[in-house]
Amino acid sequence: MGVFATSPESRRRHRSQQVAFAVLLAMTVLLVLPVLAILGMLVWRGAPALSLEFLFTAPVRGMTAGGIWPAIVGTMWLVGVSLAISAPIGVLAAVYLNEYARDSWVTRVIHLAIVNLAGVPSIVHALFGVGAFVLFFRFGTSILSASLTLAIMTLPVIIASTKEALAAVPMTFREACWNVGASRWQTIWHVVLPNSIAGILTGIILQVSRAAGETAPILFTGAAVFVPFLPQSVNDQCMALSMHLFTISTQVQSVPQSITYGTALVLVLLVVLVNGVSIVIRSRIRRRRKW
Where on the chain is the footprint of other proteins (CB under 8 A)? 102-103, 172-173, 175-183, 186, 190-191, 195, 290-291
What minimum distance in Å lies between the beta carbon of 263 and other proteins? 45
Nearer to other proteins, 174 or 210 (CB): 174
What minimum distance in Å lies between the beta carbon of 89 and other proteins? 26
142-176 exposure pattern, b = at least 16 Cβ within 10 A, e = fewer: bbbbbbbbbbbbbbbbbbbbbbebbeebeeeebee
Nearer to other proteins, 286 or 290 (CB): 290
Nearest C-alpha neighbor of 202 from the set 102, 91, 104, 99 = 91
Asked if 50 and 72 count as a contact pair (C-beta separation under 8 A), the reply is no
244/262 Cα distance (integer angstroms): 11
Asked if 247 and 225 count as a contact pair (C-beta separation under 8 A), the reply is yes
What minimum distance in Å lies between the beta carbon of 289 and other proteins? 8
Nearer to other proteins, 12 or 190 (CB): 190
What minimum distance in Å lies between the beta carbon of 181 and other proteins? 4
Residue 160, CA distances (Å) to 93, 113, 138 in order: 10, 11, 31
What minimum distance in Å lies between the beta carbon of 165 and other proteins? 14
Nearer to other proteins, 100 or 229 (CB): 100
Nearer to other proteins, 188 or 255 (CB): 188
